[in-house]
Copies of this chain bind each other. A is one copy, B any other.
């Protein structure tokens, strides 16, 4: 095609963007949770609570060094800390919970609230609101930063298509976030096998459980253990090798089933469960 035509196409694209159509930009950075849209140091923001954002999942991290006591009374937290870290996203619950799980292991902080809005900008899953508490603002700020950086790993086994999505998570040693959100025993291996629409998750769970000897913690579905998201998910625990093997088997069958609904599902970051 001639340059003139390309110019026309460019003109149309500009027109579309002016009219408010959002384009999924696939040219995004593949490391550290995607585009750093902004961060505390090179920001024009003068909000002292700001820690950083990531484009993936529309995620923002903040830290309140000394929470107003009246607000502390109203927050729905498991333990009262005056330093509070906040990780909040539009899309993604599992990835954020797993990222915070790593963050609390690496810092002197604790998970004090996890809530799952039914958001994800119209998708089938959850967004997330995660609060962590600590004694030292630099610890909490550091934990939020670790979590933001971990998102590029924990989104690695999230596969999406127009028809639905899959999410797989694995940790050899679960900490407080997996425990609070999924009932995972701390210190043991934990795996999440999730498919949307929810029926795919039922077959993925069946396949996973037949593959390796693991403990079933729970099965989450639209009316049970989710905020009415369209997901079927099994939470498993046990021996690290068996959990990993079960997760991989669930992923394999899930990819085939979701692909049967149209497009091949793709992930935005490299898979980390191998």
Contacts and interface: CB of A to CB of B under 8 A. Distances in A.
Interface of A: 1, 5, 8-9, 11-13, 15-16, 19-26, 37-38, 43, 45-47, 49-50, 53, 55, 58-62, 64, 67-68, 70-71, 73-76, 84, 86-90, 115-119, 121-124, 127, 129, 131, 162-164, 196-200, 202-203, 205-206, 209-210, 216, 218-219, 221-224, 226-232, 234, 253, 256-257, 259-262
Contacts of A260: 37-38, 43, 45, 47, 50, 53, 60
Contacts of A12: 8-9, 12-13, 15
A129 B216 contact: no
B164 A197 contact: no
Contacts of A197: 58-60, 88-90, 117, 119, 127, 129
A224 B77 CA distance: 12
Given A23-B19, A260-B45, A219 B74 contact: yes
20 contacts: A5-B11, A19-B25, A21-B21, A38-B260, A53-B261, A55-B262, A58-B197, A60-B199, A60-B200, A71-B205, A75-B202, A84-B202, A90-B163, A117-B197, A121-B122, A121-B123, A124-B127, A127-B230, A129-B197, A129-B230
Contacts of A21: 21, 23-24
B22 A223 contact: no
Contacts of A162: 22, 58
Copies of this chain assembled into the complex: 3
A64 to B, nearest CB: 5
Given A68-B210, A197-B58, A199-B86, A218 B117 contact: no
A23 B21 CA distance: 6
A45 B257 contact: yes
A197 to B, nearest CB: 4
A261 B37 contact: yes
Contacts of A86: 199, 202-203
Nearest to A123: B121
A216 B74 CA distance: 8
Nearest to A63: B203
A253 B218 CA distance: 40
A98 to B, nearest CB: 18
Nearest to A86: B199
Interface centre among A9, A60, A64, A262 (most CB of B within 10 A): A60
